[in-house]
A and B are shown apart, each in its own frame.
Chain A
């Protein structure tokens, strides 16, 4: 119940395309769903986050879509750029600061 399942493990997208990464969870007590971005040799950094009272949040080219009934959420990267090539982690927590991370998706944007 503490797991967050992320897919796909790796993704290759052409420059200008849309990158989509999906996550699913079981614990309905989760109330915070962030996405982190990690470049090689660096620590993860917060990209965007959502709480379950909204179905979508957009920040620039990055959008989180949240489906509470399906217990799923996804990250969409519009107009993907080579600089977006990184590993992306979804995560979830339930108010106690313990973030549970998905396994990660290695995204490659081909120029």
Chain B
């Protein structure tokens, strides 16, 4: 079975440009999470969805960040406008469970570099 699929794997862009990261969760999983990983701050939860509905976006750093999940098989994380401090690896993860903790299945990440 395919795991969580993220694209692009690498993105290099210039400050001020719009960036869109994409995620396809594992089929049948009901929860989807976006994490950001940096050396300084480690793994931070940005937002998560249950059944395509955003449940908690308190980790989204500011209004420049937005996330959507239009259907059960697709989610996007958008940064507009991007800044150098947004450079990080962005991970999408999915889980088959709702309302209880359990294993998260991570994608391989999207490495973003903002010049």
Contacts of A32 in B (CB 8 A): 101
Q: How far is the CA of A45 from the CA of B93 in the complex (A)?
A: 10
Main secondary structure of the interface of B (DSSP, over half): strand
- Count A interface residues, CB 8 Å: 22
| Residues of B89-115 contacting chain A, CB below 8 A | 91, 93, 95, 97-101, 103-104, 106-109
Contacts of A43 in B (CB 8 A): 4, 91, 93, 106-109
B91 to chain A: closest CB distance in Å? 5
B18 on the A face (CB < 8 A)? no
Interface residues on B, range: 20 to 34
Contact (A41, B108) CB under 8 Å given A93-B101, A95-B101, A97-B101: yes
Contact of B42 among A34, A96, A101 (CB under 8 A): A101
User: For B101, B103, B104, which residue has the most chain A Cβ atoms within 10 angstroms?
Assistant: B101
Contacts of A18 in B (CB 8 A): none
Between A and B, 18 residue pairs with Cβ closer than 8 Å are A32-B101, A34-B103, A41-B109, A42-B109, A43-B4, A43-B109, A44-B43, A44-B91, A44-B104, A44-B106, A93-B101, A95-B101, A96-B56, A96-B101, A97-B98, A97-B101, A98-B45, A99-B45
